[in-house]
Each structure stands twice: as structure tokens, then as C-alpha cells.
């Protein structure tokens, strides 16, 4: 009896390992996107500790985003951030190539909400969404000629509704909020 | 026994009618969603590209989450029942960087039965703005705005019932660009 159960238990263990590996891979799409940007543009990102040391953007208060009372979009503790500062993002003739690579990397697990490409000034903004039961994960990728940010946040349905109503504006606010440090 | 048999037949007929009605509604909804992928190739030539995809699930979230203030109530009313908003917009540096052939796949879909062109929609912007509506009986089942300017092309596809009198209120919201639309009168002309 005990011997006959061994293969079943083995299969179960393998299934659990595979499932956790699959969910781990899915949850690290943020890391994959950061890596993809690094490989595509031959750049390196800086993490939050580097930003804190350098004091970049630290003086900007959240209240300044809206010129009044700060409105917190992201759920507390949900922000993942990677920043690329003062590096070369040469997108000339390669905007659509990068877009295709990014879409291919996230297809299946994330849905594209907004994608804006500007060959004129070399900027790109991508907003992807992923359902998280009663909340939503939002991934915002912004690439400019010399800077880029990748932000992942969790939004409540209410804030997602605001994002849908004004995808450009709220997408920018999510990035601003993630790269802003409160003075207090 | 005969009575029971009649009852079963009645129930079956009623059930079939309900199924047929919902299938027809689903078909109308499906056909109001245009395939816009043929335009994707233009992104390589365009100086500015905007691509917006808000599907039914997201519209539902927006409609149920926007409830608290008066401003949100108005928007909630505006998007009530809408199953999706899809936008593709391209700006080009020079004229003639896109051709009629690039838009032909979209136009072909708008020539399919059910779609009608609203002839009385005007735009404050220069260029040609066409509004097509998919009627589902007396109600609007979907809408497409096709804006063609020498250096700009925009397609907006709204799936689901749209209040035509409030069409202009969509501009600048849900990723829909400002097309300078003026509210149409109810008169329509069937496309050939």
C-alpha cells in the first residue's frame, strides 16, 4: 500500500514544484522586463537604494503631483521600481522592434492597455494590466532618450477606473509616485 | 400527460427563442468589435503612435468602481453597457505616408451588413471624420470613428451601446483623442 503511494506522492511533489515555479516565473515578469531593457539597449538599471543615496527626485513631494493634497494611487508596499538614469536609449528605427519584444515577453499574463510611441522625441510609454483577484497589477514602462523607468504597482478597482479614464495622465502619475520620496 | 407534453414543448420553444435572442445580441456585439491589427504596420512609419485596448472586463470594473462623486456618476452613465474601447492613432511627419489601401481592411469591415454611416456628424477639426454605427434593432450596438487627415489617421472602435448625443463627451477620456466631434442629429444614411 505504502509502496503504491510513492509514485502518486512523487507526481504530486513534481506538480507542486512545477506550479510554484510557474507562478514564480509569472510573478517575475517585472524582472524580465528590466532585463529585456538592459539587453536591448545595453544599459544597467539602478535600484531604489542607489536613488536614495543619490537623492534623485527626492525633493519632489507627492503633493506636488496634483498641486494639492497627495492622492495615493498604489496600494501600500506594492511598488516595484527600476530606474535607468543618464544612459543612452537609442530607439531610432527600433521603436516597433522593442514594442514587439516587450509584448512578446508579457503576452498571456499581462494585457496591454496603452502603448504610445514617439519617433519624434524617442519616448515610449507602455501600460500593462494583470488581474489580481479583487485588485489589479499595473506595469508602466517609460523610455526616454536618456532615462527609463519600470514600475509595477497594485491598484484598487477605484484607482484602476481612474487609470482607464485617463490612461496617459494616471500612467504618468504612477511613475511619478513611484519615483517620489515623501519628505516626512 | 398531454398537458405535461404541451408544457414541455412550450418551455422548449421559449428556451430556444431566448437562446436565439441572446445569440443574436452576442453576434451583434462581436461584429461591432473591429479587427484593427492591419493598421499595426503603420507604427513603423508614424512619428507618433497611440494604441489603447480597454476590454469588457475593464469596462465593467470602471463602471462599477466609479460611483462616489457627481463627476464619476456622469462618466458611469456614459460608459454604462459599453463592452470595450479600442483606439489606434498615428501621426506622420509628411503627407501621404499612409494610403487608402492601409485603411481598406477597416473600411471593408464597415461595409458589412449592420453598419451605417452617420452623415450628419461634423468635426471642428480639419480633415475627414466619419462615424459608423452598428444598429442592433433600434439601439446602437457599436460605433466606429474613422478620422483621416493628410498626416494623421485615427480609428476609434466602441463596442456596445453608445448614446450618440453624448458622443463628444468621450473625447479626451478612455484614451480617445480629441476629434472635435459635434453631437449628431438622429438622421442616418445606409452605406452602399
Asked if pLDDT for residue A40 goes beyond 90, the answer is: yes
User: Do B174 and A158 count as a contact with CB atoms less than 8 A apart?
Assistant: no
Overall average pLDDT of the B135-163 stretch? 92
Q: Identify the CA nearest to B49 among candidates B80, B87, B95, B4.
A: B87
ipTM over 0.85: no
Position A98 in a domain: yes
Position A7 in a domain: no
The torsion angle over the Cα atoms of residues A153, A26, A125 and B91, rounded to 10 degrees, is: -140
Q: Which helix (H) or strand (E) holds B58?
A: helix B56-65
Instruction: Report d(CA B20, CA B189) in Å as an integer.
Output: 28
Instruction: Report d(CA A153, CA A180) in Å as an integer.
Output: 14
Give the pLDDT of residue A171. Answer: 82
- Average pLDDT of every residue of chain B: 82
Residues in chain B: 192
Asked if pLDDT for residue B56 goes beyond 50, the answer is: yes
Asked if pLDDT for residue B23 goes beyond 60, the answer is: no
Q: Is B119 on the interface with A (CB under 8 A)?
A: no
Q: Is B42 on the interface with A (CB under 8 A)?
A: no
Residues in chain A: 184
Q: Range of A158's domain? A: 27-178
Residues of A in CB contact (< 8 Å) with B are 95-96, 99, 111-120, 129, 131, 136, 156-158, 160-161, 164-168
Quickly state the pLDDT bin for B70 (edges 50, 70, 90): low
C-beta separation of B123 from B101 below 8 A: no
Instruction: Report d(CA B162, CA B32) in Å as an integer.
Output: 12
Task: Please tell me the least confidently modeled range out of A94-103, B32-41, B65-74.
Answer: B65-74
Overall average pLDDT of the B121-126 stretch? 70
Quickly state the pLDDT bin for A10 (edges 50, 70, 90): low
Task: Please tell me the least confidently modeled range out of A31-45, A81-95, A126-140, B69-83.
Answer: B69-83
Position A86 in a domain: yes
Instruction: Report d(CA A125, CA A170) in Å as an integer.
Output: 12
Residue from A117, A118, A159 to probe the interface with B (highest B Cβ count within 10 Å): A117
Position A3 in a domain: no
* Sheet with B48-54: strands ordered across: A80-84, A148-155, A135-143, A123-132, A111-118, B48-54, B84-91, B152-159, B139-149, B128-136, B115-118
Give the pLDDT of residue A58. Answer: 35
Quickly state the pLDDT bin for B183 (edges 50, 70, 90): low
Give the pLDDT of residue A72. Answer: 67
* pTM exceeding 0.95: no
Position A172 in a domain: yes
Position A51 in a domain: yes
Q: How many domains does chain A have?
A: 1
Give the pLDDT of residue B28. Answer: 53
Using a CB-CB distance cutoff of 8 angstroms, which residues of chain B are in contact with residue A101? none
C-beta separation of B50 from B177 below 8 A: yes
pLDDT over 70 for what percent of chain B? 76
Considering only residues A137 and B122, tell me which one the structure prediction assigns the higher pLDDT: A137
Quickly state the pLDDT bin for B5 (edges 50, 70, 90): low
User: Do B48 and A119 count as a contact with CB atoms less than 8 A apart?
Assistant: yes
Asked if pLDDT for residue B89 goes beyond 70, the answer is: yes
Asked if pLDDT for residue A60 goes beyond 50, the answer is: no
Instruction: Report d(CA B57, CA A171) in Å as an integer.
Output: 19
- Average pLDDT of every residue of chain A: 77
Give the pLDDT of residue B120. Answer: 66
C-beta separation of A165 from B69 below 8 A: no
Position A135 in a domain: yes
Q: Is B80 on the interface with A (CB under 8 A)?
A: no
pLDDT tens, position by position, A77-99 = 678 899 999 999 988 888 999 99
Instruction: Report d(CA A115, CA A101) in Å as an integer.
Output: 13
Asked if pLDDT for residue B62 goes beyond 60, the answer is: yes
pLDDT over 90 for what percent of chain A? 43
Position A77 in a domain: yes
Q: Which residues pair with A138 in a beta bridge?
A: A129, A153
Overall average pLDDT of the A139-146 stretch? 95
Rounded (10°) angle between helices B56-65 and A157-165 = 110
- Most confident stretch, A33-42, A149-158, B68-77: A33-42
Residue from A98, A127, A161, A162 to probe the interface with B (highest B Cβ count within 10 Å): A161
Amino acid at each position: 500500500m505504502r509502496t503504491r503511494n510513492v509514485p502518486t506522492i512523487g507526481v504530486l511533489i513534481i506538480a507542486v514544484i512545477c506550479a510554484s515555479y510557474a507562478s514564480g516565473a509569472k510573478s517575475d515578469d517585472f524582472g524580465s522586463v528590466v532585463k529585456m531593457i538592459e539587453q536591448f539597449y545595453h544599459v544597467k538599471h539602478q535600484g531604489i537604494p542607489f536613488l536614495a543615496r543619490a537623492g534623485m527626485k527626492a525633493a519632489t513631494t507627492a503633493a506636488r503631483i496634483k498641486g494639492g493634497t497627495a492622492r495615493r494611487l498604489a496600494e501600500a508596499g506594492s511598488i516595484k521600481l527600476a530606474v535607468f538614469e543618464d544612459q543612452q536609449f537609442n530607439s531610432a528605427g527600433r521603436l516597433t522592434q522593442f514594442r514587439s519584444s516587450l509584448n512578446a515577453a508579457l503576452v498571456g499574463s499581462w494585457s496591454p492597455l496603452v502603448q504610445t510611441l514617439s519617433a519624434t522625441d524617442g519616448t515610449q510609454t507602455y501600460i500593462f494590466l494583470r488581474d489580481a483577484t479583487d485588485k489589479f497589477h499595473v506595469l508602466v514602462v517609460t523610455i526616454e532618450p536618456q532615462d527609463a523607468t519600470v514600475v509595477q504597482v497594485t491598484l484598487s478597482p477605484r484607482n484602476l477606473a481612474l487609470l482607464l479614464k485617463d490612461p496617459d495622465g494616471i500612467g504618468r502619475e504612477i511613475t511619478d509616485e513611484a519615483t517620489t520620496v515623501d519628505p516626512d | 400527460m398531454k398537458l405535461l407534453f404541451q408544457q414541455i414543448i412550450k418551455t422548449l420553444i421559449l428556451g430556444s427563442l431566448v437562446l436565439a435572442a441572446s445569440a443574436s445580441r452576442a453576434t451583434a456585439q462581436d461584429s461591432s468589435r473591429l479587427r484593427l491589427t492591419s493598421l499595426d504596420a503603420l507604427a513603423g512609419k508614424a512619428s507618433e503612435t497611440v494604441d489603447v485596448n480597454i476590454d469588457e472586463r475593464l469596462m465593467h470594473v470602471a463602471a462599477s468602481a466609479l460611483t462616489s462623486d457627481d463627476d464619476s456618476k456622469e462618466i458611469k452613465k456614459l460608459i454604462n453597457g459599453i463592452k470595450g474601447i479600442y483606439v489606434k492613432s498615428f501621426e506622420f511627419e509628411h503627407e501621404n505616408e499612409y494610403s487608402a489601401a492601409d485603411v481598406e481592411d477597416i473600411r471593408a469591415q464597415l461595409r458589412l451588413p449592420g453598419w451605417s454611416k452617420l452623415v450628419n456628424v461634423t468635426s471642428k477639426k480639419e480633415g475627414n471624420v466619419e462615424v459608423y454605427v452598428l444598429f442592433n434593432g433600434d439601439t446602437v450596438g457599436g460605433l466606429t470613428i474613422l478620422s483621416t487627415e493628410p498626416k494623421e489617421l485615427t480609428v476609434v472602435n466602441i463596442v456596445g451601446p453608445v448614446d450618440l448625443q453624448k458622443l463628444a463627451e468621450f473625447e479626451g477620456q478612455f484614451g480617445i483623442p480629441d476629434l472635435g466631434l459635434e453631437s449628431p442629429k438622429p438622421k442616418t444614411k445606409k452605406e452602399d
